[in-house]
Structure 1
Amino acid sequence: MNNNTIVLTGGGTAGHVSLNEAIIPELIKKGYKIHYIGSYDGIEKTIIQENFPTLPYHSISNGKLRRYFSVKNFSDPFKVLYGTLQALSILRKVKPSIVFSKGGFVSVPVAIAAKLANIPVVIHESDLTPGLANKIASSFAEHIFTVFEETLNYLPKEKASSIGAIIRPDLFFGNEEVAERLTGFQAEKNTLIIMGGSQGSAKINEVIKDNIEALTSKFQIIHLCGKGNLDATLTGKPNYIAFEYVTDELPHLLKISDYVISRAGSNSIFEFLELKKPMLLIPLSIHASRGDQVLNANFFENKGYALKLEEEHLTTKSFMDTLSDLVKYKEEIIDKQFTADSSKTPDQFTELLLTYKK
């Protein structure tokens, strides 16, 4: 067992990678060697290799875990089995003192392999209800940390605890001048940032396009539209700029943003909450997901931290009407946001994580 080596895993969406991104520098500063186990072609591979090019990345096979019938349900367990054998081989070579999992399908074979190798596994669950991958992996875990206290109702109470959100400190260091250079906008004007998730949202993008004249007459629009979704017909439009996806630029763009329209992934909405940004949440539909974003959005709406517009009710008119309400109730929303519990930093979280290593 190498006490200075830690294995991280998690992938499938940017949300399953962002916490790992945040804690890698903290762990390196503490003298740890980091290895990452992910899929062959998932977004986690792109993010980790682009941001940490010298960090060893190991690819394994993984099968999708479905709650519905599919013929692939018969073949994917064999992919998980093969991935488990691959992960076991990697862990025996690397000999980490702990495995940290952020969830996603690729994390399941890693958690199983770690259990077989007698290496402690710690999981982090961001959503109100655990994802299927984390539900399965929790059986092999030493401990599960959650963001929402309500999530503890779905996990073994003897090995789960709620610690609140973990927020990257760099989010607080956005620079208006950098943002103005990136966008050509003026910080003193009302600015609206629209985020459809790492893959973008065709429906949100369509509503933005349909309302572009009304939107740009009232706001400067920063539109994060998703990879491959740039619309050439909107290029050069006054008061409008689009990016496929941003990373290091995001703190600067949020710095000049007065309002946020976003999906309702837990990591992102807690970041907006910490920054005290009035937000309109359009959660991913239950028809396209397990419904975790709907639950997250409901929680924020009930707390008064945000307004919500479900995708099934998203139209050109409903979008503009709800956006008007967001502007109208801006101060009330910010007042509620100031009542929220404080968050933890990645450094504070790594201290908690390291208490479980061998």
Structure 2
Amino acid sequence: MRVVLSGGGTGGHIYPALAIARECEKHYPSSAFLYIGTERGLESKLVREEGIPFESIEITGFRRKLSVENVKTVLRFLKGVSRAKQLLRDFKPDVVIGTGGYVCGPVVYAAAKLGIPTIIHEQNVIPGLTNKFLSRYVNTVAVSFEQSKPYFAKAKHVLFTGNPRATAVVEANRERGFASLGLPQDSPIVLVVGGSGGAKAINNTMVQMVPMLKRLPNVHFVYVTGQHYYEHTRKEVLKSSDGVRNHLHVLPYISNMPEVLAATTLAISRAGASSLAELTALGIPSILIPSPNVTNNHQEANARSLEQAGAAVMMTEKQLTAELLFGQIEQLLKNDGHRQTMRDRSRALGQPEAAMRVVSEIERLAGK
């Protein structure tokens, strides 16, 4: 199987593509891949670390108001289509898959115009502009949420798959999670994480919440600040951490997030699509604080879908205070029955077969 993957900007677009590649390898060990992204996006680092051949094009996203920059974006798009067509002719893929981000635009559009079978995968409930544009040209739109289907009314074929990231994390080793944190197995863990880059609002709230942790002396709080915020936040935490330092663990980043999640009792998290795929694949109860700084406020729609299913509690940034957040944490940790119900409902939303569903669609389109 020869597959071209494209998706960029954030891990939420990249990790699903990598999960599809790994699942494809399980069924077709001699598969060949080419990943087309941008040099500025996180994909240029993550994809190369995975050992997948990487080519780049130059492209930017549209601004949501009239701008000279949008004219330049159109020119970059046309140039990107031309470069993508050349890369596709050279590689000769069986199928081209886009997993979101504006880099997918010229790549998947070029494939469609060349008559190559195409799939796009939408991770969020509310689709992004690029996928909405591409949905008119591709063979299949794969979605992570059933609620996304009405947004693709003009697509040829819409397929519910779930998020392929779920497949990559479902068998994470919880013992390794405890060991990597240096904690005894079965220690109660509250994981606080604001996404790969961190979240200022969550960090500020966590700093204010530190003195309250004394009320839960047997619970370990694993607090991931994000690299950019780490030094400043750690200094602020130290000012008020007397009496809680043995069970407060402040980290800039976690490289083995699936394993740590597998060991987690309760997660406090943003509501990015890949994060929710991980939480539900492992059945982790959560308090979700969606980022308001995203297109179409899509994280709130993601979070509401879990809250409505009884798998999570949602709290907006406007509602967020240290007292309210700690009160929710304390309430959930002290109510084992409620937390177990959330765990069961979270796992019921998980889609561990998601990557296999995408691979099955690849097989169908490629005639394998």
User: Does the pair score TM above 0.5?
Assistant: yes
Please tell me the root mean square deviation across aligned C-alpha atoms, in Å: 2.2
Distance in 2 between the 1:138 and 1:25 partners? Answer: 25
1:335 CA drift (Å): 4.1
Are the aligned partners of 2:282 and 2:350 in contact in 1 as well (CA < 8 Å)? no
Stretch moving more, 81-90 or 63-72: 63-72
> Alignment partner of 2:290: what SS?
coil
Distance in 2 between the 1:186 and 1:5 partners? Answer: 45
Stretch moving more, 308-317 or 163-172: 163-172
TM-score, with structure 1 as normaliser: 0.90
Report what 2:223 is aligned to: 223
With over 3 angstroms needed to count, the CA separation of the structure-2 counterparts of 1:271 and 1:288, relative to structure 1, is: closer
1:26 CA drift (Å): 2.6
With over 3 angstroms needed to count, the CA separation of the structure-2 counterparts of 1:339 and 1:63, relative to structure 1, is: closer
Pairs within 5 Å for 1:274-353? 274-285=281-292, 287-327=293-333, 328=335, 329-337=338-346, 339-340=348-349, 343-353=352-362
Are the aligned partners of 1:307 and 1:326 in contact in 2 as well (CA < 8 Å)? no
1:283 CA drift (Å): 0.5
Distance in 1 between the 2:224 and 2:315 partners? Answer: 18
Which residue, out of 177, 188, 191, partners 1:190? Answer: 188
Which residue, out of 76, 81, 84, partners 1:84? Answer: 81
> Alignment partner of 1:127: what SS?
coil
Stretch moving more, 299-308 or 271-280: 271-280
Stretch moving more, 188-197 or 325-334: 325-334
> Alignment partner of 2:295: what SS?
coil
Pairs within 5 Å for 1:64-213? 64-155=61-152, 156=154, 158-166=156-164, 167-176=166-175, 178-213=176-211
> Alignment partner of 1:34: what SS?
strand
Report what 1:43 is aligned to: 42
1:85 CA drift (Å): 1.6
With over 3 angstroms needed to count, the CA separation of the structure-2 counterparts of 1:347 and 1:339, relative to structure 1, is: closer
Report what 1:14 is aligned to: 11
TM-score, with structure 2 as normaliser: 0.88
With over 3 angstroms needed to count, the CA separation of the structure-2 counterparts of 1:267 and 1:170, relative to structure 1, is: closer
> Alignment partner of 2:186: what SS?
coil
Residue identity over aligned pairs, in percent, reads 26
Are the aligned partners of 1:104 and 1:133 in contact in 2 as well (CA < 8 Å)? yes
Extract unaligned runs of 5+ from structure 2. none
> Alignment partner of 1:118: what SS?
coil
Stretch moving more, 326-335 or 257-266: 326-335
Which residue, out of 256, 266, 272, partners 1:265? Answer: 272
Distance in 2 between the 1:58 and 1:334 partners? Answer: 41
Distance in 1 between the 2:167 and 2:351 partners? Answer: 13
Are the aligned partners of 2:135 and 2:155 in contact in 1 as well (CA < 8 Å)? no
Distance in 2 between the 1:88 and 1:295 partners? Answer: 35
1:157 CA drift (Å): 5.2
> How many matched pairs?
350
For residues 238-297 of structure 1, give each alpha carbon's deviation from its aligned partner in whole angstroms, at most 9, with x where no partner exists.
2222333334x1232112210011111122213212312110000011x54321111011
Distance in 1 between the 2:295 and 2:206 partners? Answer: 22
Are the aligned partners of 1:28 and 1:34 in contact in 2 as well (CA < 8 Å)? no
Extract unaligned runs of 5+ from structure 1. none
Distance in 2 between the 1:65 and 1:298 partners? Answer: 28
| 1:240 lines up with 2:248 in the alignment | yes
1:348 CA drift (Å): 4.2
Report what 1:60 is aligned to: 57
For residues 325-357 of structure 1, give each alpha carbon's deviation from its aligned partner in whole angstroms, at most 9, with x where no partner exists.
433431332343355475415234312222112
